[in-house]
Amino acid sequence: MAKQDLAKTYEPREVEDRIYDFWVQGNYFHAEPNPDKKPYTIVIPPPNITGQLHMGHALDNTLQDILIRWRRMQGYEALWMPGTDHASIATEAKVVEAMRADGLTKEMLGRDGFLERAWAWKEKYGNRIVSQLKKMGSSCDWERERFTMDEGCSEAVKEVFVRLYNEGLIYRGNRMVNWCPHCNTSISDAEVEYEEQDGHFWHLLYTVKETGEQLELATTRPETMLGDTAVAINAEDPRYAHLHGCHVILPLLNKEIPIVCDEHADMTKGTGVVKITPAHDPNDFEVGRRHDLPMVRVFTYDGKMTGAADKAAADELIASGRAAADEPQVLDCGKYAGMTTMEARKAILEDLTAGGYLKEVEPLKHDVGTCYRCHTTIEPMVSKQWFVKMEPLAKPAVEAVEKGEITFVPERFTKNYLNWMKGTRDWCISRQLWWGHQIPAWYCDECGEMVVAKEAPHACPKCGAAMEQDPDTLDTWFSSALWPFSTMGWPKQTPELDYFYPTDTLVTGYDIIGFWVSRMIFSGLAYTGKAPFHTVLIHGLVRDAQGRKMSKSLGNGIDPLEIIDTYGADALRFMLATGNSPGNDMRFITEKVEASRNFANKLWNAARFILMNLPDGEMPLTLPVELTLEDRWIVSKFNTLAKAVTENLEKFELGIAVQKLYDFIWDNFCDWYIELCKSRLQGDDPAAARQVLVYVMTGMLKLLHPFMPFITEEIWQSLPHEGESLMISRWPVYDEALNFPEEEREMERIMEAIGAIRNRRGEMNVPPSRKAQVYIETAFAKTFEDGIPFLMRLASASEVHIGDSFDLPGAVSIVTNGATVKIPMDDLVDRQAEKARLQKEMDNVQKQLAGVTARLANKAFTDKAPAQVVQTARDQEQQLKDKLALLQQSMDALQ
């Protein structure tokens, strides 16, 4: 920016893209294994290719970029590994939807035709989210961008699958899974969302064959009764002791099924009798296994009642001998066949009522499992799927966290993680989808032999017949779980893997601890032998102004790109980092973005001020030899700031760091130091002031850069500087030689006096244009002499007199720490009001003094409190006493 072009307000739109291109041209985002540096690595939570940038991404990526830019400036070889996720179920749904518009279905296109479309879709939309991340200023190493379905990641997936299979940790079997009839696929437990719904308990009556009595039992899903293969009672239940070994007649089907004794039947609940449907209820499945009950499936995979054709297909499979022993039977539901489960429920209830089998209907609120994608009610269903055996994998993953190898920030999420990891059941990883990593298992057409391998077998090793690959694909999270090392080239031992792995910090929302974080942890430990990262920084959700979750259906989402367009990326980033503590949700409030935009503008104008005072060609890159009082004050303050901000960042207290920067820049630097400099800049020897201004400004820009990368770079480029870019400059380090505590105190005495004068003038409504004589009675004459120009400029003094005592009856008098300031303003002073004010202040001081004195009088306090705290109290007491005496003097002078 050339000096003459300096706009009065900062225009992010004219700056951001240009600066981003500049960084890319400079290749500053790129990281390479470098033995001379320490690595610092973050892998991005790969956004879905279906996705558009939302506030959640904006927050997540802002935090990551802050950390990565900061570490880069500290001299680490900082790698932010970017990429995208294929998001199997979400993408497939989108592609299917798009196809429907063309009148096409998956079946019409076939697998290859469908995948062609899906890849085309990925090409079209996959880059959208990436370009949006760039708008945020994200300093990802784009040369290393990865995709979960690219060759390397797919290789890692196959490697892991085959390895786990060979170790017996992946198995295939008929198990109870969560089936989404809409998406037509199984989903994992983690993908089920529970919603409270109004439902009913239907109390049914089953007749005992042997005794003729009627057994009452309740169900929330009466349509499953067609698949009942037993009724359970508790062996200890005296009410039913006489029924052991008996049978009941299943209504409607008139089928005889056994009464079994099982612990699952809880005597305290309902009537203590439970119907058992092993093929459609997870508990009943277990009961069925324990008692070797037949499994009878009555629903099709698209949520209808099974019919004759379904039964015939299943019977044929079982008869062929190729089915596993645990293959469920299928019922021909007869008149109910083809009905949806809801239609069947209605019809079955009508028939049960007609037959006198329905005793009563009880309304009930209960949690119903729904698909996280489409919120269709989940049907638990026995189905042949692939599973990861979790117990052996979870154990080391629990230990790693318990031993502190991995830390959650904030710490409370550790419990969240451990609960998940300890309670998790086997992970259903197969999906009846086409978009994703196809399962590397092949089955023989003839003999049913199975081969699990990375490459397709030529022929069945047993009988030589042709083999076909399992049509199913893997859960998206299976590949995401490998992300921290698949992106580094694993299973190959690449230099990247060696250098950047394990990574350092994982930044993500608490909503995917179970989905992703936990799976990366056990995967990393199991396959690489190392925890994939040592710190997990958890953030909350960005909610709307009313505190509601932003969602498409509510239409309350705020588009980060629109915010960037009107306020700038820096303002958005700054707002997201401000007042946000780890793990807590935050609300998106436009006023907060405005405040951040205003702050950027403030900084911009401070820079403008410096540039306007800087002669062309002058390059004040170092501090001057001689530092004045105010120089020492600001330099010392900055020095402390650099230390504090660094410490806050180390502890992931980004919100605190950003608050300190804001306060320093706006309050200390702009409102005070720049003002203090003005007289010197206009005087005979402005050079030293310029040097300090540039020095502190440069330092501020560095500390602020991770938070507001664009504007800081833009300003830095326009100021005198060394090096190519702010983003690769060195992070400020605390320097004991620049610590001036005594000067800080002195300067603060002057500032307090200025503040007190302004305050009094304000109360009396005296405009700044009306200057006044100022008399200062003080023991710190030297300090206040240095402060004369400041008092004249900032406290509207026409002249400043310093002495031990001035006899000025009727002057306004103000007592501060270190001085009594007297301003003769007879025409403005209402003596009575002035006396009242002084009295009020004296009362106030008296009250404070009483408090401190009481505390010091308490022997327990002086004995037990740390010496420093007691000393502070003593100092305070003395100050208050002094102040009170001075106030008394002022009061006396008024008489």
Partner RNA sequence: GGACGUUUAGCUCAGCUGGUAGAGCAUUCGCUUGACGUGCGAAGGGUCAGCGGUUCGAGUCCGUUAACGUCCACCA
Enumerate residues 852-891 that contact RNA by CB under 7 A.
855, 858, 860-861, 864-866, 869, 872
Residue of 372, 369, 487, 471 whose CA lies nearest to 89: 372
Site for RNA in 716-735 (CB under 7 A): none
42, 73, 248, 274: residue in contact with RNA (rule CB under 7 A): 274
Whichever of 318 and 829 has its CB closer to RNA, that residue is: 829
Judged by CB under 7 A, which of 8, 151, 553, 617 binds RNA?
Answer: 8
Q: Which range of residues in 49-57, 87-95, 460-468, 606-614 is near RNA by CB under 7 A?
A: 606-614
| Binders in 772-831 for RNA, by CB under 7 A | none
Which one of 17, 32, 145, 189 is in contact with RNA (CB under 7 A)?
A: 189
Residue 147 or 710 having the CB closest to RNA: 710
**From the CB of 20, what's the least distance to RNA, in Å?**
21
Size of the site for RNA (CB under 7 A): 95
Closest CB to RNA among 291 and 855? Answer: 855
- By CB under 7 A, name the one of 55, 183, 187, 217 that touches RNA: 217
CB of 316 to RNA, least distance (A): 31
State the DSSP code for 191. Answer: G
Provide the minimum distance between the beta carbon of 289 and RNA in the complex, in angstroms, as a whole number: 14
Q: In whole angstroms, how large is the CA radius of gyration of the chain?
A: 37
Comparing C-alpha atoms, which of 673, 694, 672, 700 is closest to residue 624? 694
Q: Which of 624, 720, 755, 810 binds RNA (CB under 7 A)?
A: 755
- DSSP SS3 for 874: helix
- Of 30 and 678, nearer to RNA (C-beta) is 678
Q: If we measure between CA atoms, which residue out of 477, 481, 538 comes closest to residue 505? A: 538
Nearest to 588 by CA among 623, 630, 546: 546
Site for RNA in 145-184 (CB under 7 A): none
Buried b (16+ CB within 10 A) or exposed e, 388-409: bbbeebbebbbebbeeebbbbb
Tell which one of 407, 469, 605, 889 touches RNA (CB under 7 A). Answer: 605
The residue within the footprint of RNA, chosen from 182, 373, 587, 801 (CB under 7 A), is 587
**CA dist 299 → 65, 197, 326, 451 (Å):** 49, 22, 17, 30
275 binding RNA? (CB under 7 A): yes
**Binding flag, residue 320, RNA (CB under 7 A):** no
Kind of pairing between the strands at 473-474 and 329-330: unpaired
Nearer to RNA, 114 or 609 (CB): 609
Measured from the CB of residue 159, what is the shortest distance to RNA in angstroms? Answer: 29
- Residues 6 or more apart whose CB falls under 8 angstroms from that of 351 comprise 252
Question: What single letter denotes the amino acid at residue 303?
Answer: G
Least distance from RNA to the Cβ atom of residue 432, Å: 22
Q: How far is the CB of 782 from RNA (least distance, A)?
A: 24
β-strand 255-261 against 247-250: which pairing, if any?
antiparallel
In angstroms, what is the minimal distance from the CB of 496 to RNA?
Answer: 34
607 vs 698: CA distance, rounded Å: 10
CB of 284 to RNA, least distance (A): 8
Give the Cα separation of 331 and 314 in Å (integer).
9
Which of residues 49 and 800 has its CB atom nearest to RNA in the complex? 800
With left for phi above 0 and alpha for psi between -120 and 50, is residue 75 left, alpha or beta? left
Residue 808 is encoded by which pair of tokens?
Answer: 């000025």
Among 247, 592, 705, 883, binds RNA (CB under 7 A): 592
CB atoms within 10 A of CB 887: 22
Contact status, residue 31 vs residue 78, Cβ threshold 8 Å? yes
Q: Which is nearer to RNA, 228 or 496 (CB)?
A: 228
Q: How far is the CB of 889 from RNA (least distance, A)?
A: 22
Helices (H), 476-582: 476-480, 483-486, 495-500, 518-523, 560-567, 569-577
Residues 278-297 that bind RNA (CB under 7 A): 281-283
Q: Select the residue interacting with RNA from 154, 306, 508, 601 (CB under 7 A).
A: 601
Residue from the set 235, 612, 619, 621 that interacts with RNA by CB under 7 A: 612
Beta strands in 596-725 (DSSP E): none
Minimum CB distance to RNA, residue 226 (Å): 14
Token pair for 232: 């359970």
Binding mask 497-516 for RNA (x = CB under 7 A): --------------x--x--
Return the closest-CA partner of residue 761 out of 815, 820, 829, 817: 829
Residue 419 CB, nearest distance to RNA (Å)?
Answer: 6
Cα 300 from chain centroid (whole Å): 39
Query: Among the candidate windows 213-221, 722-730, 835-843, 878-886, which touches RNA by CB under 7 A?
Result: 213-221
Dihedral sign for Cα 823, 829, 835, 838, please: negative
Confirm if 105 and 170 have CB atoms less than 8 A apart.
no
**Dihedral of alpha carbons 626, 630, 636, 639, sign:** negative
Collapsed DSSP state (helix, strand, coil) of residue 353:
helix
C-alpha 113 chain-centroid distance: 38
Rule CB under 7 A: which of 523-582 touch RNA? 543, 547, 549, 579-581
CA neighbor of 134 nearest in space, from 189, 87, 186, 82: 82
Nearer to RNA (CB atom), residue 117 or residue 221: 221
Question: 322-381: which residues touch RNA (CB under 7 A)?
Answer: 364, 366-367
214 binds RNA (CB under 7 A): no
Tokens of 762: 């304000």
Q: Which stretch binds RNA (CB under 7 A): 5-13, 22-30, 65-73, 98-106?
A: 5-13
Burial, 36: exposed, middle or buried (Cβ in 10 Å; 0-12, 13-18, 19+)?
A: exposed
Element (H, E) at 142: none
Three-state SS for 566?
helix
Residue 338 in contact with residue 305, Cβ under 8 Å? yes
x/- letters, 218..257, toward RNA (CB under 7 A): xxxx----------x-------------------------
Instruction: Give the whole-angstrom CA distance, residue 276 versus residue 229.
Output: 6
**106, 128, 203, 758: residue in contact with RNA (rule CB under 7 A):** 758
In the complex, what is the shortest distance from the CB of residue 857 to RNA, in angstroms, rounded to a whole number? 10
Binding track, positions 373-412, relative to RNA; x by CB under 7 A = ---------------------------------------x
Chain positions 651 to 680 lying near RNA, rule: CB under 7 A, are 651, 653, 655-656, 659, 662-663, 666, 670-671, 674-675, 678
* Beta carbon of residue 761, minimum distance to RNA (angstroms, whole number): 7
